[in-house]
Amino acid sequence: MRLVTPIRNDAEIDALKAAGADVLVAAVAGFSAAADAVRPAAAFAPLVLAAQAAGLEVYAAFTAPVHEDMLRGLAEAMKTVADAGVAAIVAADSACIRVAQDLGIAGRLIYQPGTFNSNRYDPAFFRSRGLKGVTLSREITLAQIVAIAENNPGIEISLVGHGHLPMFHSRRRFLSDDAEHRGNGVRPADGSRFALEEEKRPGRHFPVVEDESGTTLFRDRMLVSFAELPVLAACLSDFFLLRRFTDDAVFFAAIAAYRDPSRAAAFLAAYGTRCDSGFYHRKTTLAKEDRR
């Protein structure tokens, strides 16, 4: 199982390698939504060369929903990063699959919509469309993840297993709208870090980010997968880490702890109160009739 970590600038290559990363990933400018690390499509070629020199691979991520006016640029950007030699293109929108098929690069595509890939049939569906891999839904259990992976040997199965995962992405510009509504409100471009607090969950602050693609709301707690790592490592091809809202020191310590599980206890001792295990052991089955 490869550890896939965001890279914010080329100077981090050695440090990420030393921490234990196998693959470096960055989002492609113009096609990112609340991404950890973003760079222009043209900037992938030098990154690939530098990463390969260090023995690492590079993935390019297209994380934004794709609208019609993005299609021409999308095809150009996907071709550019493919020509640059990225090992995979990570895509959140099914439009990317069609474009990749047209470009003849579907075999390098990992479909990572965030949700959707939630049963053992889905990977087979995308395998039959020529894809390299699928990233499973972020709201299914460990047992479900294992069952899906074990039943799909013909396609790479991956998971976003660490960090503050998105809860939703909207095309609406909630922070800008709020500023407009208040008249004197804060602006998303202020450089501030914003969060939302829900009325009945005092003290829990959910990070919120607005960018050119809209607004993304994140979990307040960092998903960690140290306890589940042996199981995941046996069935996954890629394990993605997110680093947004995490200090570099904490993030690098996390990579190191996934690479060397003997460090996990120290990580959890230091940061465990900010972490949880997401939905690995918590199936969300309550219905509408159940009380909030």
Partner 1 sequence: MKPELVAPAGDLEHLRIALLFGADAVYVGGAEFSLRARASNFTLDDIAEGVRFAHGLGKKVYAAVNVIPTDDDATGLDMYLAGLAKAGVDAVIASSPVVLDRTLALTDLPVHLSTQQSVASSAAAEFWRSAGAMRIVLARELSLAELRAIRNNTSVGLEVFVHGGMCASYAGRCTISNYLADRDANRGGCAHSCRWKYRLLSDGIPVSDRFDFSLAAKDLEALDYVPALADAGIDALKIEGRMKSANYVAVTSRVYRAVIDDHRKGTLKPWDTYRDELAKAENRPAADGFLGGITSARHQLYEGIPPPRQDFLGHVASIDGSGRARITLRNPVALGDTIEMTPPGAPNSRFAVEGLFDGTGFPLSSARRTGEIVMIPVPQGTVQYAMLRKVN
Alpha-carbon gap, residue 187 to 216, rounded angstroms: 15
List the interface residues with partner 1, window 56-95 (CB under 8 A).
65-71, 74, 93-95
Residue from 8, 85, 125, 227 binding partner 1 (CB under 8 A): 125
C-alpha 44 chain-centroid distance: 18
Nearer to partner 1, 2 or 188 (CB): 188
> Segment near partner 1 (CB under 8 A), from 19-27, 138-146, 226-234, 259-267?
138-146
CB burial of residue 203 (10 Å; 0-12, 13-18, 19+)? exposed
Which residue do the tokens 């074990």 mark?
A: 150
List the interface residues with partner 1, window 3-62 (CB under 8 A).
none
Structure tokens at 34: 């609340």
> Segment near partner 1 (CB under 8 A), from 16-24, 34-42, 224-232, 278-286?
278-286
Nearer to partner 1, 49 or 71 (CB): 71
Residue from 172, 234, 248, 260 binding partner 1 (CB under 8 A): 172
3-state SS assignment for residue 170: strand
Nearer to partner 1, 22 or 122 (CB): 122
Q: Which of 130, 167, 149, 112 is nearest to 284 (CA)?
A: 167
> Segment near partner 1 (CB under 8 A), from 121-129, 154-162, 224-232, 259-267?
121-129
Asked if 289 is part of the footprint of partner 1 (rule: CB under 8 A), the reply reads yes
Given a contact cutoff of 8 angstroms between Cβ atoms, the answer to whether 255 and 16 are in contact is yes
Asked if 277 is part of the footprint of partner 1 (rule: CB under 8 A), the reply reads no
User: Cα angle vertex 120, ends 255, 78, to 5°?
Assistant: 60
Residue from 29, 50, 73, 170 binding partner 1 (CB under 8 A): 170
The nearest distance, CB 1 to partner 1, in angstroms, is 22
> Segment near partner 1 (CB under 8 A), from 20-28, 38-46, 201-209, 225-233?
201-209
Q: Binding marks (x or -) toward partner 1, 96..115, rule CB under 8 A? A: xxxx-x-----------xxx
Q: Which of 134, 123, 125 is nearest to 89 (CA)?
A: 134
Q: Which of 216, 213, 203, 122 is nearest to 166 (CA)?
A: 216
List the interface residues with partner 1, window 206-235 (CB under 8 A).
208, 217, 219
C-alpha 204 chain-centroid distance: 22
Q: How many residues does the chain have?
A: 292
3-state SS assignment for residue 173: coil
Residue from 196, 227, 233, 268 binding partner 1 (CB under 8 A): 196
